């Protein structure tokens, strides 16, 4: 059996939408900010995905990191992952900015890592 990193994109954030104890009504605290990876700058070192394993995964087509869920790790663990990034391409952003950031990223040409530079 092989590990398929693409499964991270199919997993729901909350299994069956069951309470997980983090809901404000149950005493939890919703994070007010989202985490975002600028994949155009990511160098694919995998540090963030090794630290915050429930937040970041390595996107299989281009070999760059992506935040696949926003509630998988504590703020402290995510911040630790951010701090490990050697190129500072992970940021806290507003949740409402995620769609625009994704659109801007999709408009860029991102080459798979490991290919020689264009001439
Ligand atoms: S730590 Fe930064 S450069 Fe390394 S994989 Fe994560 S986002 Fe990419």
Q: Is the CB of 50 within 6 Å of ligand 1?
A: no
Strands (E), 34-112: 34-37, 56-58, 65-67, 90-93
pTM, 2 dp: 0.74
Residue whose CA is at the smallest distance from ligand 1 atom 8: 42
Give the up-direction half-sphere exposure of residue 100: CA atoms within 13 A in the CB hemisphere: 5
Residue 47 has pLDDT above 90, yes or no: yes
Atom of ligand 1 nearest to the CA of 90: 7
Residue 31's pLDDT is 75
Model confidence at 71, in pLDDT bands (50, 70, 90)?
confident
What's the CA-to-centroid distance between 83 and ligand 1, angstroms? 10
For the chain, list the domains and their CATH numbers.
28-107 (3.30.70.20)
Residue whose CA is at the smallest distance from ligand 1 atom 4: 45
Residues 91-106: tens digit of each pLDDT: 999 989 999 999 999 9
Mean pLDDT of the chain: 85
**Residue 36 burial (CB count, 10 A):** 21
Q: Is the CB of 84 within 6 Å of ligand 1?
A: yes
* CA 104 to chain centroid: 16
Model confidence at 81, in pLDDT bands (50, 70, 90)?
very high
Q: Is the CB of 98 within 6 Å of ligand 1?
A: no
Distance CA 36, CA 39 (A): 9
């Amino acid at each position: 059996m092989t590990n398929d990193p693409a499964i991270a994109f199919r997993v729901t954030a909350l299994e069956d939408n069951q309470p997980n104890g983090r809901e404000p009504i149950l005493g939890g605290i919703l994070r007010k900010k989202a985490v975002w990876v600028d994949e155009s700058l990511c160098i694919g070192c995998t540090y963030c995905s090794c630290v915050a394993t429930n937040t970041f995964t390595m996107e299989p087509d281009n070999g760059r990191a992506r935040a696949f869920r926003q509630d998988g790790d504590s703020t402290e663990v995510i911040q630790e992952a951010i701090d490990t990034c050697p190129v500072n391409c992970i940021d806290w952003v507003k949740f409402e900015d995620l769609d625009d950031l994704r659109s801007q990223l999709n408009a860029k040409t991102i080459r798979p890592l490991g290919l020689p530079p264009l001439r």
